[in-house]
């Protein structure tokens, strides 16, 4: 993506004349290079000690270029800037050029983004200039090869930075060290406190305040739709029975579904909106973003019963399975890129009036043009007649204006969208990023399994389990952990605790969906290893990469991910998974480990409550033992299946559902304290009490809701204790 803002020097000693402002980069011409292949010429090094040893030996700065493979602007930089002979020459004569990938090295990308933010930059790609010690002294975003419109190009920047480093090296290094220390101070260090209900209420207040700053509208969610704040607000509105908050979140999600980031024809969402008005999306469609939004819209459907939210959710899930699932392995690809060529940017997803009229019969085309505001002038730069389909006139407005029944308008829209989908199928789609990341596959598996539970989608269940089984087969690294990419493909990537937590959560979902203990055991092994590998001696908090002596520069400062960001916060994710494992296994030690993690940050998160939704979800789950529904009955019994299905589909945030088969699961039934049963039966319990046994599926949902309401209102959130 490209969110270019003011360029600023990180070191005033380097005499670059940079202009402020946020204009779009100039257009380039010429043929595209291969999508996945870096442009020839610059001999890029991998990030690591070898590159910095070369920089020390040659006393050259390191040019660290961090790209986002799905980003249109990264492709333009590749084809336009790196194909320039002067840029290649300056890079090879004056620098040790190092290439980083945002998705392969998110721990590095996060630090680069923080360094760039201090210079007024955001988005991808990024160029950081580092001393041989790995300390940042200058940053840039997208740059064309030559100066344009009063702004410097890459050739100018490379020459000026090299001259500044050569002529004022000592001053540059000293200032870079100061900058790096300041950057390290931006990383939140653990601060112990009390992880209780008062802290949770403070977090909820801060998140709600941020939400209401957008007047209950789409602004907070549209800015980062795949972050956990809207999920937390849905949970909080249910816990507090706050209808006003629930209505505000629902309006925001409806607005998001009507906006430019939603693909109403093919299903799924683009990464985010670009520009202040949000009229044009960043057209890439990442798997992880869509998985997070699928979980969100499924939760919203459960909470509200809205068929609109159900339709949006089904569109997301069907997009993931149809377009991003590898038919050979069952794993999920990283995402679909934005268009590569500048002349085709946005064309796959956008429409002219003539294209709509050609694709659909006149009656359907008329409704489509009104509904999606497809006019003679559109929003795409250099394609002024192309329109991003956004919902401008609702069904009721069209019905009134055209004198039609709302049901007739809905039918015309449905058939018209089918026609547009068929027409779009004849276009050449943007390329797919075929890499298989552990976190994306874990998130997609989680979302599809939740879709199975909420909607009964058996096809999604099979797809989610297939991806998870493949992940366990291909991603197992040493020490009981999972590798970011398949272990045989790229063994040099650091292991990350967030990946472990997401995969462990998916395994626990799979255990609930199947009853298979192998998923439960694998989750336990991963979480045990996570605690062992990612902690420094004597600490409770988890680092973003395993501690390693001798790290300097960007990776030298320890980072403990706890706040919501583009990179999911590992500490609350691990705490949440540990508590869930504790509740499923009835093992206090996992609950105690979650307590240690949450306490380690309890004195910190209150100062940034608006960025602590992930922590809030983990803390709420920790303080309140969720309702656990245990169905016991023969595995092939229709009555057993009916009870399980009813438990899955009932709306009760955080609930856990286990289906246990006498004989196969006899020891576990005894450990959990349930009596033998002659007939299929469901037990609805918290840690303190159980409802009477339920034998009829049609009664189970009401029993769960009534029992949970009585159990949770009987205890004060502020007085909640660790459930044991």
Q: Return the pLDDT at 276.
A: 63
Residue 104 lies in a domain: yes
pLDDT at 302 over 60: yes
Do 205 and 609 form a contact (C-beta atoms < 8 A)? yes
Task: Please check whether residues 256 and 245 belong to one and the same domain.
Answer: yes
Task: Please check whether residues 276 and 394 belong to one and the same domain.
Answer: yes
Task: Please check whether residues 683 and 619 belong to one and the same domain.
Answer: no
Largest CA distance in the chain: 86
Q: Which of 461, 447, 597, 574 has the alpha carbon at shortest distance from 523?
A: 574
Pick from 623, 655, 689: which residue ends a domain? 623
Residue 676 lies in a domain: yes
How many Å apart are CA 628 and CA 632, to the nearest integer? Answer: 13
Task: Please check whether residues 263 and 410 belong to one and the same domain.
Answer: yes
Render pLDDT for 38-82 as a digit per residue (tens, 0 to 9). Answer: 667 899 998 888 999 999 999 999 999 999 887 778 888 988 899
Mean pLDDT of 149-166: 94
Render pLDDT for 490-549 as a digit per residue (tens, 0 to 9). Answer: 777 889 999 999 999 999 999 999 999 999 999 999 999 999 999 999 999 999 999 887
Q: Return the pLDDT at 13.
A: 37
Task: Please check whether residues 98 and 114 belong to one and the same domain.
Answer: yes
Task: Please check whether residues 619 and 657 belong to one and the same domain.
Answer: no
Residue 57 lies in a domain: yes
Angle between helices 243-258 and 197-212 (to 10 degrees): 50
Domain that holds residue 536: 191-202+475-623
How many Å apart are CA 378 and CA 260, to the nearest integer? Answer: 12
pLDDT at 219 over 80: no
pLDDT at 27 over 50: no
Domain count, the chain: 4
Residue 617 lies in a domain: yes
Q: In this predicted model, which residue has the larger pLDDT, 72 or 718?
A: 72
Residue 554 lies in a domain: yes
Pick from 185, 220, 251: which residue ends a domain? 185
Residue 92 lies in a domain: yes
Residue 706 belongs to a domain with what CATH number?
3.40.30.10
Do 436 and 333 form a contact (C-beta atoms < 8 A)? yes
Kindly report the backbone phi and psi dihedral angles of residue 616, in degrees, each rounded to the nearest multiple of 5, phi listed first: -60, -40
Task: Please check whether residues 179 and 218 belong to one and the same domain.
Answer: no
Weakest mean pLDDT among 14-28, 375-389, 670-684: 14-28
Q: Return the pLDDT at 435.
A: 94
- Kindly provide the b/e burial profile for residues 58-96, where b requires at least 16 CB atoms within 10 angstroms of the residue's own CB: eebbbbbbbbbbbbbbbbbbbbbbbbbeebbebbeebbb
Is residue 405 within a helix (H) or strand (E), and if so which, with residue range?
none
Do 112 and 157 form a contact (C-beta atoms < 8 A)? no
How many Å apart are CA 320 and CA 301, to the nearest integer? Answer: 19
Mean pLDDT of 224-232: 83
Q: Which of 15-24, 309-318, 600-609 has the highest mean pLDDT?
A: 309-318
Confidence of residue 156 (pLDDT cuts 50, 70, 90): very high
Outline where 324-437 has alpha helix (H).
Answer: 353-359, 362-371, 395-402, 406-424
Render pLDDT for 405-436 as a digit per residue (tens, 0 to 9). Answer: 999 999 999 999 999 999 999 999 999 999 99
Q: Return the pLDDT at 282.
A: 86
**If you average pLDDT over every residue of the chain, what do you get?**
88
Q: In this predicted model, which residue has the larger pLDDT, 688 or 551?
A: 688
Render pLDDT for 6-18 as a digit per residue (tens, 0 to 9). Answer: 333 333 333 332 3
Pick from 399, 433, 467: which residue ends a domain? 433
Q: What percent of the chain has pLDDT over 70?
A: 90
Residue 452 lies in a domain: no
Task: Please check whether residues 240 and 375 belong to one and the same domain.
Answer: yes
Task: Please check whether residues 247 and 166 belong to one and the same domain.
Answer: no
How many Å apart are CA 614 and CA 573, to the nearest integer? Answer: 7
Residue 169 lies in a domain: yes
Task: Please check whether residues 351 and 286 belong to one and the same domain.
Answer: yes
pLDDT at 223 over 70: no
Weakest mean pLDDT among 3-12, 226-235, 273-282, 512-521: 3-12
Is residue 257 within a helix (H) or strand (E), and if so which, with residue range?
helix 243-258
The pair of three-digit structure tokens given for residue 342, joined into one six-digit string: 């500048």
Q: Return the pLDDT at 32.
A: 28
Render pLDDT for 233-245 as a digit per residue (tens, 0 to 9). Answer: 999 999 999 999 9
Render pLDDT for 570-590 as a digit per residue (tens, 0 to 9). Answer: 999 999 999 999 999 989 999
pLDDT at 342 over 80: no
Task: Please check whether residues 544 and 568 belong to one and the same domain.
Answer: yes
CA distances (Å), origin 542, targets 290, 573, 594? 27, 11, 11
Q: Return the pLDDT at 398.
A: 97
Task: Please check whether residues 423 and 525 belong to one and the same domain.
Answer: no
């Amino acid at each position: 993506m490209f969110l270019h803002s003011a360029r600023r020097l990180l070191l005033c000693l380097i005499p670059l004349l940079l202009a402020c402002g946020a204009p779009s980069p100039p257009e380039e011409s010429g043929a595209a290079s291969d999508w996945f292949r870096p442009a020839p010429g610059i001999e890029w090094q991998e990030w690591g000690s070898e590159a910095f040893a070369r920089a020390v030996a040659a006393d050259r700065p390191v040019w660290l270029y961090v790209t986002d493979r799905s980003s249109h602007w990264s492709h333009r930089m590749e084809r336009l800037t790196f194909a320039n002979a002067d840029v290649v020459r300056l890079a090879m004569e004056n620098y040790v050029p190092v290439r980083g990938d945002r998705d392969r090295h998110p721990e590095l990308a996060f630090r680069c983004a923080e360094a760039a933010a201090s210079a007024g930059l955001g988005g991808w790609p990024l160029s950081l200039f580092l001393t041989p010690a790995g300390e940042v002294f200058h940053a840039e975003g997208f740059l064309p090869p030559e100066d344009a419109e009063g702004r410097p190009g890459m050739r100018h920047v490379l020459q000026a930075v090299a001259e500044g480093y050569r002529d004022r090296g000592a001053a540059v290094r000293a200032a870079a060290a100061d900058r790096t220390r300041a950057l390290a101070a931006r990383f939140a260090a653990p601060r112990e406190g009390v992880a209780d209900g008062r802290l949770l209420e403070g977090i909820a207040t801060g998140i709600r305040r941020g939400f209401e700053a957008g007047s209950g509208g789409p602004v907070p969610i549209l800015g980062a739709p795949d972050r956990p704040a809207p999920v937390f607000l849905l949970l909080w509105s249910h816990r507090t029975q706050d209808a006003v908050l629930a209505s505000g979140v629902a309006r925001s999600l409806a607005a998001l579904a009507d906006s430019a980031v939603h693909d109403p024809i093919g299903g799924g969402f683009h990464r985010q909106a670009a520009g202040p008005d949000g009229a044009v999306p960043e057209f890439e469609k990442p798997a992880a973003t869509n998985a997070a939004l699928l979980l969100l819209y499924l939760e919203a459907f459960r909470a509200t019963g809205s068929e609109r939210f159900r339709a949006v959710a089904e569109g997301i899930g069907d997009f993931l399975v149809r377009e991003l699932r590898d038919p050979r392995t069952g794993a999920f690809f990283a995402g679909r890129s934005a268009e590569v060529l500048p002349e085709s940017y946005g064309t796959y997803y956008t429409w002219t009036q003539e294209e709509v009229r050609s694709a659909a019969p006149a009656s359907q085309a008329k409704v489509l043009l009104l509904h999606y505001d497809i006019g003679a002038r559109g929003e795409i730069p250099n394609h002024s007649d192309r329109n991003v389909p956004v919902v401008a006139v609702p069904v009721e407005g069209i019905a009134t204006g055209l004198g039609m029944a709302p049901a007739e308008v809905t039918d015309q829209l449905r058939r018209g969208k089918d026609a547009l989908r068929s027409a779009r199928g004849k276009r050449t789609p943007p390329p797919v990023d075929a890499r298989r990341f552990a976190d994306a596959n874990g998130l997609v598996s989680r979302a599809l399994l939740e879709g199975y539970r909420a909607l009964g989608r058996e096809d999604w269940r099979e797809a989610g389990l297939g991806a998870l089984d493949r992940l366990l087969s291909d991603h197992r690294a040493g020490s009981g952990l999972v590798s970011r990419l398949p272990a045989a493909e790229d063994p040099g990537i650091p292991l990350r605790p967030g990946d472990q937590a997401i995969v462990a959560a998916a395994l626990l979902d799979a255990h609930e969906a199947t009853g298979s203990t192998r998923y439960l055991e694998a989750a336990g092994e991963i979480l045990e290893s996570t605690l062992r590998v990612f902690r420094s001696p004597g600490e409770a908090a988890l680092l973003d990469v395993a501690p390693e002596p001798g790290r300097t520069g960007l990776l030298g400062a320890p980072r403990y991910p706890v706040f919501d960001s583009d990179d999911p916060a590992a500490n609350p994710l691990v705490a949440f998974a540990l508590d869930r494992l504790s509740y499923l296994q009835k093992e206090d030690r996992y609950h105690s480990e979650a307590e240690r993690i949450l306490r380690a940050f309890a004195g910190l998160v209150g100062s940034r409550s608006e960025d602590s939704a992930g922590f809030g979800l983990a803390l709420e789950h920790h303080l309140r033992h969720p309702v656990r529904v245990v169905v016991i009955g023969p595995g092939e019994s229709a009555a057993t299946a009916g009870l399980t299905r009813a438990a899955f589909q009932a709306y009760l945030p955080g609930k856990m559902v286990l289906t246990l088969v006498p004989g196969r699961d006899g020891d576990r039934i005894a450990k959990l304290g349930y009596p033998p049963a002659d007939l299929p039966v469901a037990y609805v319990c918290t840690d303190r009490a159980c409802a009477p046994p339920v034998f009829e599926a049609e009664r189970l949902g009401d029993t769960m809701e009534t029992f949970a309401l009585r159990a949770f209102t009987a205890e004060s959130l502020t007085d909640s204790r660790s459930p044991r």
